[in-house]
Chains A and B, each alone.
Chain A
C-alpha cells in the first residue's frame, strides 16, 4: 500500500515536472503572471510528491519490508537506525531521489529570490533537469525499453524468472542482504547529501546562463548567479574534503586522494565552477569576459552530468572503487547529457555572434588578464582530468581494451598547471587591488620573494628535498602563500570584508605545500631488518629462488605478541593482543599496538581494526576488510593498518576446513582431531614439545571440593609451561584423582586449558615408585606460533596542512558568498523601492 502510493507519487512527480517544463517555457515567452504562478504551484506539488514518496521509501526501509528489492538489497534487520536512514540514498535510485529533493529546495530558493526577467527561464531549466532525474525513477515499461528503475519495485518484479518467485510470487525474504560495510560510517550520513546540494546548486549558474541567452540580457545575470556559484563550489569543496577525509581515516585507500573517477566527478565541476567564478568576477568589475562566464557556467553543469553518466551508466564499472550498480539507464543518461550539452553549448553557439565583446584588448599586466588566466588554467586542469576519466571511451582511439591511465598521468599534468596557477594568483591579487607597472610590481614583490626564498631553502634543507622539480614546486607554493598573505594583510587594514579572494588563494598555497609534503614524502615505517632488506633490493642484491632479481621491497613488518620491535629508529612498537567485539560490526578485531618513542616521549596506542565483510562473505570464505587507524599530528600523521594476522589466517583455515568437511563422508571427519602427547617427568625435570617446555616443579595438595566423592588419592602437580621463543610462561596445577564407584576404581584427570596457546594439559598418571608423573597434552601444535600481526605503517608529513588549506579555501569562499549575497539583496531592495 505504502509502496503503491510512493510509486504513484513518483510517477505523478514525473508527470507534473513535464507539465512544469511546458508552463515555465510558456511563462518565459509570454511573461504571463498567471502561467508563472501556476508553474510555481506545479513545482511545489512536484516537491510535495517527491518528499512523500521519499518518506514512503524510508518507511519501507525502517519497517524492513524486504519484499521490495531496494530494501532487501541495501538494508538488513541488524542495521542501526542511523544507517537505515542513510541506506535511503545508499543505492543508485535513492541517490537520485536525494538529488531531486536537494534540487527542489534550491528551486524554492530561486522562486523566492530570483528577479525579473530571469525567474521563469531559470525555473524552466531547473524543471527540465528535474524531469530528467525523475525519469530515472519512474520504472515504466515502454515495451521496447524501460524508462528508469523504481525504488519501489518488488523482488518479483526485479527477477520474475527466478525459481523461488515462480514457486511463490509473494516471496519476501526474512532478512535483507545488508548495507555494504564500507558505507556503515558516520561520514556516509553527511557526505552524499552535501555532494547533492553542491550538484543541485551548480544547476543554478547553468540555468542563469540559459536564461541570459534566452532573454538576451548578457550583463545582469552574473549578479544573482555569482553567490549561487560560490555556494555550489563551497558545497562541492566540503563534500570533496569529507570524501577525502573519509577515504583517509576509515577506508584503506592509502591516502586522501586517488584520482578515482568518482572523486574526479566532483573535482572537475568544482574546477570549472571556480573558473566560472573568476570569469564572472571579471565581468562584474570590468564588463568583459561575457563569453567566458557563460561558457564556464554551462560547462560546469555539463561536466556534472557527464561525470554522472560515466559513473552511473556502467561505463566505468571496472575502473572505480565505487561505481554504481548498472541499472540499464545508459540510454536515458545519454539522452540527459546530450540534451544538457545541446541546450547549453548549442544555444551558446547560436547566440555567439550577439554576445558582447570587449572593445579593446586587456593589457598583460591587468587584473582582467590575470584573473582570466586563472580561469583558463582551472579550465585546462579540469579538461585534463576529464580526458583521464574518459579513458574507457577515449582510450579506444589508441587501444582496443583500454585500461585507466596511470596515476602519473594526472600528477604529471596537474603539477605544472598548479605551479603556474600559484604564481598567477599572487600577481593577479596584487593587480586586483592596485594598478601596477612592471617596475612598481617588481618593487612590491621584493619582500614576498625574499621571504619565499628563505622558506623554500628551509623546506629544502629540513625536508631533505633532492628533486629539482620539487624544489621549484615548493618555491611556487611558498610564493603563493607569502604573496597572498601580503595582500590579505593589507586588505585587513582597509576592509576585512574584502579578504575572501586573498584568503582563498592563501589556502590554495597551503594546499599545494601540504599535498607535496604528504604525498611525495610519505615514508613507510619499518623495522631495521626489513629496511635493510629493502636497501639490498634497491641495490639489486636480492634474488628469488629461481635466480631472478627481486625489485620490490617489503612495505610491512611482522610483530609477535609482546615482543617489541624498533621501528624507524624512533618507536618501540609492541603488539599487545587483540579484542574481539560485535559492535559496530560483528566479528571485528581491534589490534592493540603500543608505540613508545625511544627519545622519551609519551607512549601511545594505535588500534587498527579488521572485520569480516558479512554482506559479501559466502559460507565458504570470509572477506576481510580493514579499518586503518591514524594518529594525526601537526607535523606528521602515522597511518597504520593490519595486513594480516594469525586470527584472520586461523579463521580462514577453519572456514576452508568446514567447507571441505561438508563434502567428505561423516566417518572421515574425526580422523585426526585428537592429537594427544604424553610427557613423563620426574620432579625438577624438563621436557620439550615444539616451542614449549614443561617443567614438573612439585606436587601440590588437592582440596576436597575439587575431587569426586569416594576419592582415595587426590593430588595436583605444579607444572611450569614456557613458550621458549617469547619466554612467556604459565604455572598450571592439573589434578589427578583415583576414586571408587560401585566398587570399581576410576581415575579422574580434568583438563586445564591454556587459552593463549589453545591446548589442554591433563595429569593422567602417577608413578609412585619413581615419584614421576605423566602429563597428557591435547591439541598442542608442534609448529605453534605465537600470535602475530602484519602491519603496514606509513608516516605522512603535513597532512594537517592539506586540511588547513582546505578549511581556508572554505572560509574564503564563505566570506565571498556573504559579500556578494548582501550586494545582491541590496540591489533587489533598491529596485523594489524604485
Chain B
C-alpha cells in the first residue's frame, strides 16, 4: 500500500475515534435521583410533585420545588432562576445538575409542555368545544 494512503487512513481513523470518544463523553444518560447521588452531573426526568410546597424566593433568588423521578423517588430541587413561566403546565421535567445532601441543585431545567407546537393533544380540544 502506498504510504500516502496509509497516512490518510490512519489519520481518518484517529480523527474519527477521537471525535467519537469525545462525543461519547459529552452526551449523558437520564438517571433517577438515587443514581444521581453518586454522579457529578446528571440529567433526571420526572414530574412535579404538586402536593408539596414550592415557590420562588426573592431573598435567595431561587426557585424550589419537589420532583418525582420516573422510579418514584421524590427530592427537593433547587433552581437558581425564577420559576419558569410554563412550569405548572409541564407534563415532564428534565433537570440537569447535581445531588447535594439529598437535594438536587439544577443548573438547567427543561420542560415538556403540551403545546401544540410539539404535539397536538386532545386536552386542548376540550377547550375548543367549550367555546361553542
Residues on A close to B: CB < 8 A?
A: 72-73, 159, 162, 164, 173-177, 180, 182, 317-318, 322-323, 325-326, 380, 384, 387-388, 391, 394-395, 397-406, 408-409, 412-413, 544, 546, 548, 550, 552, 554-556, 558, 613, 615-621, 623-626, 643-644, 648, 790
- The answer to whether B132 touches A174, judged by C-beta atoms less than 8 angstroms apart, is yes
- The answer to whether A644 touches B132, judged by C-beta atoms less than 8 angstroms apart, is no
**A-B pairs with beta carbons under 8 Å apart, 15 shown:** A173-B131, A174-B128, A182-B117, A325-B117, A388-B23, A394-B23, A402-B29, A403-B28, A403-B29, A405-B23, A544-B78, A546-B103, A552-B80, A613-B86, A644-B56
Residue ID in chain A nearest B88 by CB atoms: A621
- The answer to whether A621 touches B112, judged by C-beta atoms less than 8 angstroms apart, is no
Known A-B contacts A387-B23, A388-B23, A548-B101; the reply to A162 vs B125 at CB < 8 A is yes
Closest 3 CB pairs of A and B: A399-B29, A624-B85, A409-B26
Taking A552-B105, A616-B117 as known contacts, 15 extra A-B pairs with beta carbons closer than 8 A to each other, sorted by chain A number, are A73-B120, A159-B125, A174-B128, A177-B127, A180-B117, A182-B117, A384-B19, A400-B29, A401-B30, A402-B28, A403-B27, A544-B60, A555-B81, A623-B86, A626-B85
Give the distance to chain A from B65, nearest Cβ to Cβ, in Å. Answer: 14
Give the distance to chain A from B94, nearest Cβ to Cβ, in Å. Answer: 8
Residue ID in chain A nearest B115 by CB atoms: A616
Inter-chain contacts of A159 with B (CB < 8 A): 122, 125
Please tell me which one of the listed residues A318, A550, A619, A625 contacts residue B127 in the complex, with CB atoms under 8 A apart.
A619
In the bound assembly, the distance between CA atoms of A384 and B26 in angstroms comes to 13
In the bound assembly, the distance between CA atoms of A394 and B88 in angstroms comes to 33
Give the distance to chain B from A150, nearest Cβ to Cβ, in Å. Answer: 15
- The answer to whether A409 touches B80, judged by C-beta atoms less than 8 angstroms apart, is no
Residue ID in chain A nearest B114 by CB atoms: A616
- The answer to whether B80 touches A554, judged by C-beta atoms less than 8 angstroms apart, is yes
Inter-chain contacts of A619 with B (CB < 8 A): 127
Render B1-38 as a binary contact track against A, CB cut-off 8 A, 1 for contact: 00000000000000100011011101111100000000
Please provide the chain B residues from 66 to 96 with a CB less than 8 Å away from any CB of chain A in the complex.
78, 80-83, 85-86, 88-89, 94
Please tell me which one of the listed residues A174, A397, A624 contacts residue B24 in the complex, with CB atoms under 8 A apart.
A397
Inter-chain contacts of A182 with B (CB < 8 A): 117
Residue ID in chain B nearest A410 by CB atoms: B26
Please tell me which one of the listed residues B56, B61, B107 contacts residue A554 in the complex, with CB atoms under 8 A apart.
B61
B118 at the interface (CB under 8 A from A): yes
- The answer to whether A318 touches B58, judged by C-beta atoms less than 8 angstroms apart, is no
In the bound assembly, the distance between CA atoms of A398 and B25 in angstroms comes to 9
Inter-chain contacts of A403 with B (CB < 8 A): 27-30, 43
Known A-B contacts A173-B132, A616-B89; the reply to A398 vs B27 at CB < 8 A is yes
In the bound assembly, the distance between CA atoms of A404 and B105 in angstroms comes to 20
Inter-chain contacts of A325 with B (CB < 8 A): 116-120
- The answer to whether A413 touches B19, judged by C-beta atoms less than 8 angstroms apart, is yes
Inter-chain contacts of B85 with A (CB < 8 A): 613, 623-626, 648
Please tell me which one of the listed residues B23, B56, B116, B132 contacts residue A73 in the complex, with CB atoms under 8 A apart.
B116
In the bound assembly, the distance between CA atoms of A317 and B115 in angstroms comes to 12
B113 at the interface (CB under 8 A from A): yes
Inter-chain contacts of A326 with B (CB < 8 A): 119
In the bound assembly, the distance between CA atoms of A618 and B78 in angstroms comes to 26
Residues on B close to A: CB < 8 A?
A: 15, 19-20, 22-24, 26-30, 43, 56, 58, 60-61, 78, 80-83, 85-86, 88-89, 94, 100-101, 103, 105, 107, 112-120, 122-125, 127-129, 131-132
Known A-B contacts A174-B132, A621-B88; the reply to A180 vs B115 at CB < 8 A is yes
Inter-chain contacts of A404 with B (CB < 8 A): 27
- The answer to whether B113 touches A616, judged by C-beta atoms less than 8 angstroms apart, is yes
Give the distance to chain A from B69, nearest Cβ to Cβ, in Å. Answer: 13
Give the distance to chain A from B47, nearest Cβ to Cβ, in Å. Answer: 15
Give the distance to chain B from A529, nearest Cβ to Cβ, in Å. Answer: 11
Known A-B contacts A180-B115, A413-B22; the reply to A644 vs B82 at CB < 8 A is yes
- The answer to whether A790 touches B23, judged by C-beta atoms less than 8 angstroms apart, is no
Residue ID in chain B nearest A380 by CB atoms: B15
Inter-chain contacts of B116 with A (CB < 8 A): 73, 177, 180, 325, 615-616
In the bound assembly, the distance between CA atoms of A402 and B94 in angstroms comes to 13
Residue ID in chain A nearest B41 by CB atoms: A406
Main secondary structure of the interface of A (DSSP, over half): loop
Give the distance to chain B from A268, nearest Cβ to Cβ, in Å. Answer: 15
Residue ID in chain B nearest A72 by CB atoms: B128
- The answer to whether B28 touches A399, judged by C-beta atoms less than 8 angstroms apart, is yes
Inter-chain contacts of A648 with B (CB < 8 A): 85
Known A-B contacts A388-B23, A405-B23; the reply to A177 vs B128 at CB < 8 A is yes
Please tell me which one of the listed residues B19, B28, B89, B124 contacts residue A177 in the complex, with CB atoms under 8 A apart.
B124
In the bound assembly, the distance between CA atoms of A546 and B24 in angstroms comes to 35
Give the distance to chain A from B31, nearest Cβ to Cβ, in Å. Answer: 9
Give the distance to chain A from B1, nearest Cβ to Cβ, in Å. Answer: 16
Best-buried of A159, A177, A388, A625 by chain B (most CB within 10 Å) = A177
- The answer to whether A162 touches B120, judged by C-beta atoms less than 8 angstroms apart, is no
- The answer to whether A556 touches B61, judged by C-beta atoms less than 8 angstroms apart, is yes
Give the distance to chain B from A383, nearest Cβ to Cβ, in Å. Answer: 8
Inter-chain contacts of A387 with B (CB < 8 A): 19-20, 23
Inter-chain contacts of A402 with B (CB < 8 A): 27-29
Please tell me which one of the listed residues A73, A548, A623 contacts residue B89 in the complex, with CB atoms under 8 A apart.
A623
Best-buried of B15, B30, B56, B82 by chain A (most CB within 10 Å) = B82
Inter-chain contacts of A546 with B (CB < 8 A): 101, 103
Residue ID in chain A nearest B97 by CB atoms: A552
In the bound assembly, the distance between CA atoms of A648 and B78 in angstroms comes to 21
Inter-chain contacts of B28 with A (CB < 8 A): 399, 402-403
Give the distance to chain A from B80, nearest Cβ to Cβ, in Å. Answer: 4
Residue ID in chain B nearest A552 by CB atoms: B80
In the bound assembly, the distance between CA atoms of A550 and B103 in angstroms comes to 12
In the bound assembly, the distance between CA atoms of A400 and B70 in angstroms comes to 15
In the bound assembly, the distance between CA atoms of A220 and B65 in angstroms comes to 66
In the bound assembly, the distance between CA atoms of A548 and B60 in angstroms comes to 14
Residue ID in chain B nearest A645 by CB atoms: B82
Residue ID in chain B nearest A326 by CB atoms: B119
Give the distance to chain A from B101, nearest Cβ to Cβ, in Å. Answer: 6
In the bound assembly, the distance between CA atoms of A72 and B125 in angstroms comes to 10
Residue ID in chain B nearest A391 by CB atoms: B27
Best-buried of B103, B122, B127 by chain A (most CB within 10 Å) = B127
Inter-chain contacts of B119 with A (CB < 8 A): 317, 325-326
Residue ID in chain B nearest A616 by CB atoms: B115
Inter-chain contacts of B94 with A (CB < 8 A): 318
- The answer to whether B127 touches A618, judged by C-beta atoms less than 8 angstroms apart, is yes
Residue ID in chain B nearest A165 by CB atoms: B125
In the bound assembly, the distance between CA atoms of A403 and B45 in angstroms comes to 11
Please tell me which one of the listed residues A173, A394, A395, A643 contacts residue B128 in the complex, with CB atoms under 8 A apart.
A173
Inter-chain contacts of A625 with B (CB < 8 A): 85
- The answer to whether A317 touches B131, judged by C-beta atoms less than 8 angstroms apart, is no
Inter-chain contacts of B19 with A (CB < 8 A): 384, 387, 413
In the bound assembly, the distance between CA atoms of A576 and B83 in angstroms comes to 24
Residue ID in chain A nearest B132 by CB atoms: A174
Give the distance to chain A from B4, nearest Cβ to Cβ, in Å. Answer: 8
In the bound assembly, the distance between CA atoms of A790 and B78 in angstroms comes to 19
Known A-B contacts A398-B27, A406-B26; the reply to A618 vs B61 at CB < 8 A is no
Inter-chain contacts of A554 with B (CB < 8 A): 61, 80
Inter-chain contacts of A397 with B (CB < 8 A): 20, 24
Please tell me which one of the listed residues A323, A399, A790 contacts residue B118 in the complex, with CB atoms under 8 A apart.
A323
- The answer to whether A175 touches B128, judged by C-beta atoms less than 8 angstroms apart, is yes
- The answer to whether B117 touches A322, judged by C-beta atoms less than 8 angstroms apart, is yes
Inter-chain contacts of A558 with B (CB < 8 A): 58
In the bound assembly, the distance between CA atoms of A626 and B85 in angstroms comes to 9
- The answer to whether A623 touches B113, judged by C-beta atoms less than 8 angstroms apart, is yes
Inter-chain contacts of B123 with A (CB < 8 A): 618
Give the distance to chain B from A756, nearest Cβ to Cβ, in Å. Answer: 20
- The answer to whether B131 touches A175, judged by C-beta atoms less than 8 angstroms apart, is yes
In the bound assembly, the distance between CA atoms of A72 and B28 in angstroms comes to 39
Residue ID in chain B nearest A612 by CB atoms: B85
- The answer to whether B26 touches A548, judged by C-beta atoms less than 8 angstroms apart, is no
In the bound assembly, the distance between CA atoms of A618 and B130 in angstroms comes to 12
In the bound assembly, the distance between CA atoms of A301 and B80 in angstroms comes to 43
- The answer to whether A405 touches B27, judged by C-beta atoms less than 8 angstroms apart, is yes
